[in-house]
Amino acid sequence: MESFIGFNEILALLIIVSAITIYFFHKARHLERMAQIESGQLNENQNSVRSYLDIKFGMLMIGLGLGMFVAWIWERIDQSVNTEYVTYPAFMLFFGGISLLLSYLVVKIIDIKSGN
């Protein structure tokens, strides 16, 4: 008997749930920011936090891309066993973690240079 829920259905459900979560997150953040503006409690340091988030997210994406590239090279070199189900997530998580550690160091260096 064939399974009703396959990989494509799970992937579609994951994309839909992720899109809804991102939408409500941005909507809540926008409403909170508008409330801060109306009450006069807007903090000027929030822009620097946002730029740090961009640095972290950018470095994470670079790390994930590098992990995919290294996993692809590893798969082409080691063709003895079919291990792409393990190598791609492993390398992506490894290089993603390294990139987050590096982004932490970059943010600390920026903080030290700016005097915070």
C-alpha atoms less than 13 angstroms from C-alpha of 64 in its C-beta half-sphere:
7
- Give residue 1's pLDDT: 46
Task: Give the pLDDT confidence of 3-54 residue by residue, as tens digits.
Answer: 667 778 888 898 999 999 999 999 999 999 898 888 888 766 555 556 688 8
Q: Comparing C-alpha atoms, which of 108, 100, 101, 102 is closest to residue 60?
A: 100
pLDDT in tens, 73-89: 988 888 776 776 788 88
Q: Evaluate whether 90 touches 71 at the Cβ level (below 8 Å).
A: yes
Q: The whole model's pTM is what?
A: 0.59
Inter-CA distances, 34 with 25, 30, 43, 50, 104, Å = 14, 6, 12, 16, 30
